[in-house]
Structure 1
């Protein structure tokens, strides 16, 4: 059953309204998902946080745990051209002049189903001049003894083709040691170089002989990362896995399939007094940053078409 959390007088309450949450459990895992943003608020294994949580009721800091759709990452200046028509969506990252993380995260998502180990939510943003499409986004969260499986389904219920991309946005927690000491392994041979001021794409580069080469496990150290990686090594079953471990022996990992040929890694660097390097953002993406402009791996969602992407988080 859904659980309503009314916390009058707290900043966490969004617009003085109740916030609905759904708890699920299986084996040694528990998770909490919010109707607000369809976000993963907590994920624990044996009581240990696998992601950086956020407070009950929101607001959601740093987009933690959201579903970023219908585009992941950013669109430069909030402007793009699709099928010969120019569009403009709101800029919500004013310091970089970009439209960040899509349209569905501010929404309250609708419950489709909920049982002890799973919950499914959906959201259909109203068409706007900047994105005049009717795309229904559904997210399934399902726990098992192996971890949390997530699947996002996008269905175009409109009459015109729509540009589309998606990613999750969890901040992983390997353990109690500082992030600098965590041991990271990412099976990616290339990264996307970006401009230092706006983090907009320049060109892909090999990780060979670069500080971003984590194909073999090693400590993150003082390396600051907020980049997309590609040339990902998938196994025979079409799965890729990344791992991050605490020197004390705990760890967490993510797995994803070939629908996500990119993965954003971010060491969550902040300037004081903001909390610095609290967790490692890991975002399997169907397309790179600013794909609405570059067209790289951009999904063209035709009327009546459906797209699915999935990933999992597990204790390691």
Structure 2
């Protein structure tokens, strides 16, 4: 269930943010959906619009080693036997403040079995002329260092045409190859000469993504951008800062009779899948330390 929710408005942008999962339920520009919405008062399918922490993506078998100790997390993706998307999507976040154009939530994580650490996380949403700005800050309020990662989980919606007809531009030079069955990391590969090379905008077609990308090109303002465009001329983009060195793309492919490819999940991540084990770009929050990540969704 979505729990309490809050409407935001600025200029030609509107949004509704739900307390459950701190999820962006709707985001519109001039009445046009920029993300795949989900109904009020019901379940949130496919983690739409949630904040994902303290780990993005998958940890195989829910087991990891940190600081010389072994831990076991609940497995919530039974088909692949993985711990998926952290704890925050299922939490009822606490409202801290709101205005007509902004809202801030907070939640507490741990200590719980498999994660004996204590974090306080705030998520701030703000509508402005540049779109929906999101800030997520995690503070370690415990007595021991904690492993941490975060990402958003919106499904971008370029326009009314099918996803296969959208064009996509991704500023990534490397992608993470994964196993076909459990989507677990194998090795990084260059996109050069590969079907995942979208550095120059081109049509998605039948391409299927559920992969992480890295080696981003950031502009002079320290921002990376993904843009998807509908052949009718509309589009939507997402920008993020250097706190997120990774990006997960997912075309939302589902087995019939479930609907699939409704939108493109674009998830700037601070670390790749299974970072709790590999340590790759893992944030290690010491007691009293904090970490901030930020991103933005905007109309094109």
The structural deviation recorded for 1:248 is 0.3
The alpha carbon displacement at 1:57 in A equals 1.7
Q: CA deviation at 1:45?
A: 0.3
Please state whether the residue corresponding to 2:106 is helix, strand or coil: strand
Equivalent residue for 1:224?
208
> Which residue of 1 is the match for residue 36 of structure 2?
52
Establish whether residue 86 from structure 1 lines up as the match of residue 76 from structure 2.
no
- State whether structure 2 residue 87 is matched by structure 1 residue 103: yes
1:129 deviates by 2.4
Quote the Cα distance in structure 2 between the aligned partners of 1:203 and 1:125: 31
Unaligned runs of 5+ in 1: 1-13
What RMSD over aligned residues (CA atoms) do the two structures have, in Å?
Answer: 0.8
Cross-structure match for 1:250: 234
Q: Between Structure 1 and Structure 2, how many residues are aligned? A: 300
Answer yes or no: is 1:288 the counterpart of 2:272: yes
The whole-number CA distance in structure 1 between the counterparts of 2:260 and 2:89 is 23
After TM superposition, give the deviation of residue 173 of structure 1 in Å: 0.2
The runs of at least 4 aligned residues of structure 1 exceeding 6 Å deviation read none
Which of 116, 130, 144 is the aligned partner of 2:100? 116
Q: Distance in 2 between matches of 1:116 and 1:297?
A: 36
Structure-2 separation of matches of 1:76 and 1:95: 11
Q: Which residue of 2 aligns with 1:143?
A: 127
1:126, CA displacement in angstroms? Answer: 3.5
1:1-316 → structure 2 map (5 Å cutoff): 14=1, 19-316=3-300
List per-residue Cα deviations over 1:69-98 (Å, max 9, x = no partner): 000001110000000000011000000000
SS of residue paired to 2:89:
coil
Counterparts of 2:290 and 2:42, CA distance in 1: 30
Q: In 1, Cα distance between the equivalents of 2:212 and 2:256?
A: 25
SS of 2:276's partner is helix
Consecutive unaligned residues of structure 2, counting only runs of 5 or more, are: none
* Aligned mates of 1:143, 1:271 — CA distance in 2: 35
CA distance in 1, matches of 2:113, 2:17: 31
